[in-house]
Structure 1
Amino acid sequence: MTRTTTRRRALLSAAAAAALSLALAACGSGTDGMDGMDGMDHAATASPGATAPGHDMAGMDHGASGANGTPGANGTPGTPAANGTAAEQGGYRLDGALSGSEYRFTVTGPDGKVLTSYEPEQTAELHFYAIRSDLSGFQHLHPVRAADGTWTAPLAALAPGDWRMYASFVPGAGSGAGAGLVLSRTVAVPGAATPVPLPAAATSTTADGYRVTVAGTPRAGAAGELTVTVSRDGQPVTDLEPYLEAYAHLTAFHAGDLAFAHLHPEAKAAAGTGGGPTLSFHAELPQAGDWRLFLQFRTGGTLHTAALTLDVAA
């Protein structure tokens, strides 16, 4: 072998090594879209929040949120994940159907199995709400769960029109265990729907002879306080009975998109004593506009529901 041939081979070998080094560097500097690497699978398993083919992902945000609709790690005010209007969140999915006057549903966990483990919140494993698209017909139930994880909510008669069904709960298993979630789906009740006009914003209303007055001016996205006063025949009511660990339960729904918010009482009910006439609630309503408030309280063993419209400023 001549000296010239040996030198040529050495140069060719060095060039090949340099080309290989550049190729390896390019493979390790991935860019969005992975140009030139179509069909390559870089993950052996799906993430916990992955959804099976065929699931409706429109408008879904996988960030966790609290039971009052406030945003979690990936949620922002006004998004489905933050306001309870998504059917799936953080790997948990609500599926259900209306059968006569019953709404039967399940919650599927991140592992793809029907969830059967729940942590009680305000004395119940799950709080179920139904509201028509015009914010009329409010119902709040605590449905029965079968051993296989199927829930049955026995509803009062539903007027024709579009309704949204909400499930508020705290998972006892899965990646979101211990964090409150609110999931919902819509159902259409057949028949000729007659819209109910939204009552104008007001500071007081009556229910079963009780007058409920609400004070406070919460702003969208900011923590605030609402004070509720209950009276009857002009006299303060002081015999409110415990209901869901408090003397009243307050829920709000946003006009238009039906965003959900649970306003938490700032004090629990004390055993053996009556509550009232004034109750305070932590209010954090994520959006401006009209919110329909539903206050539930109990006296003499009877549950009363008072509703009024609250205008929340931006």
Structure 2
Amino acid sequence: MRRRALVAAGTAAVLALTLAACGSSGDSSMPGMDHGTKTSASASASTSHSMGDMPGMDHAAGGNGLSDSKDGYRLTSPDATLAAGKQAAYRFTVSGPDGKPVTGFAPEQTKQMHFYAIRSDLTGFQHIHPTMAADGTWSADLASLTPGSWRMFTSFTPDSGAGKGKDFVLSRTIAVPGTETRTPLPAPAESAEADGYTLTVKGTPKAGMAGPLTVTVTKDGKPVTDLEPYLDTYAHLTAFHEGDSEFAHLHPETEAKGGNGGPELSFHAELPTAGNWRLFLQFQTGGKLHTAALTLNVG
């Protein structure tokens, strides 16, 4: 089972999980992922965005996953804005070095494309598996978005051409018009709650250095041992860096070959940049997907 985080600016960000590991959301916005509060559509006027946040300017952005192009592959989209407060489809195409839309992708964790949406204050996390038309146009069905600047990440592996077998993470920003209320990032913490489950994190990763990280899942004070296989793994972990939304996909080392997992999920952690990272851990029990979020400080 493999899952590598490839980035647009050179430094690799990998958090390997010796989990029994990695569920992933197939279709949803994650209620409660707005740092525990929901952003309001009625506050002060939406602030202006820097050039790095302007749709169409992403090719100049630096940092992991923060570019719309790499090694001749380019992410394009006709959608520079999406309406607030309702479901919307984000359309995009990945073109190859020959300028033509790529239509052949190798499955990663059983899916040909993983798509992530995150607002600039790291709220509103959504992880979606979009659908592709015959001409190479993808459509990601997003749940309701709140006003502000959002970054749309695509994670994929071409199955032919110059990029065959290579993992790519490309992204673009969009604007969601309306009044914007930014939510402060919660302070770093060792535990998070999700649907009655408690996830406790132990470990102190250092920027650019590998180190151990362990997550323990409990419910009502008791160890959880019924984590279900999902997309060939037991938990799916994604991280975004505070300030620039730098992306790190934190992948499992162990396949789920049947049976249940938990309560302890062991990670081999390496994050390239110091500062706060917002981690989103997705796992499944009883056929239901759960998402927990917490802030991790990397020194």
**TM-score class, shorter:** 0.7 to 0.9
Aligned equivalent of 2:164: 177
Aligned equivalent of 1:207: 194
Amino acid at match of 1:304: H
Alignment partners' CA distance in 1, 2:243 and 2:194: 25
Amino acid at match of 2:155: S
Contact 1:263 1:282 in 2 (8 A): no
Contact 1:75 1:81 in 2 (8 A): no
TM-score in terms of structure 2 length:
0.78
Aligned equivalent of 2:288: 302
Aligned-residue identity in percent: 63
Alignment partners' CA distance in 1, 2:138 and 2:169: 15
1:130 has 2:117 as partner = yes
CA RMSD of aligned residues (A): 1.9
Aligned equivalent of 1:91: 72
For residues 156-171 of structure 1, the aligned pairs below 5 Å read: 156-171=143-158
Change (3 A) 1:89 1:182: same
Contact 2:82 2:174 in 1 (8 A): no
For residues 42-57 of structure 1, the aligned pairs below 5 Å read: none
Q: Secondary structure at the match of 1:308?
A: strand
Change (3 A) 1:76 1:269: closer
Aligned length in residues: 245
1:275 has 2:261 as partner = yes
Higher relative CO (Cα under 8 Å, sequence separation at least 6) belongs to: 2
Aligned equivalent of 1:75: 10
Give CA-to-partner distance per residue, 1:112-141, whole Å, 9 cap, x none. Answer: 000001000111001000000000000000
Aligned equivalent of 2:218: 231
Following superposition, the deviation at residue 224 of structure 1 comes to 2.5
Amino acid at match of 1:68: A
Alignment partners' CA distance in 2, 1:220 and 1:208: 31
Change (3 A) 1:198 1:88: same
Alignment partners' CA distance in 2, 1:229 and 1:95: 40
5+ unaligned residues in a row in structure 2: which ranges?
14-59
Alignment partners' CA distance in 1, 2:194 and 2:12: 32
Following superposition, the deviation at residue 267 of structure 1 comes to 1.6
Contact 1:241 1:275 in 2 (8 A): yes
Amino acid at match of 1:300: G
Aligned equivalent of 1:194: 181
Change (3 A) 1:69 1:220: farther
Alignment partners' CA distance in 2, 1:118 and 1:208: 34
Alignment partners' CA distance in 2, 1:102 and 1:220: 36
Following superposition, the deviation at residue 75 of structure 1 comes to 2.0
For residues 215-254 of structure 1, the aligned pairs below 5 Å read: 215-254=202-241
Contact 1:67 1:169 in 2 (8 A): no
Amino acid at match of 2:226: D
Q: Where does structure 1 differ by over 3 angstroms across 4 or more consecutive aligned residues?
A: 76-82
Amino acid at match of 1:75: G
Alignment partners' CA distance in 2, 1:295 and 1:138: 11
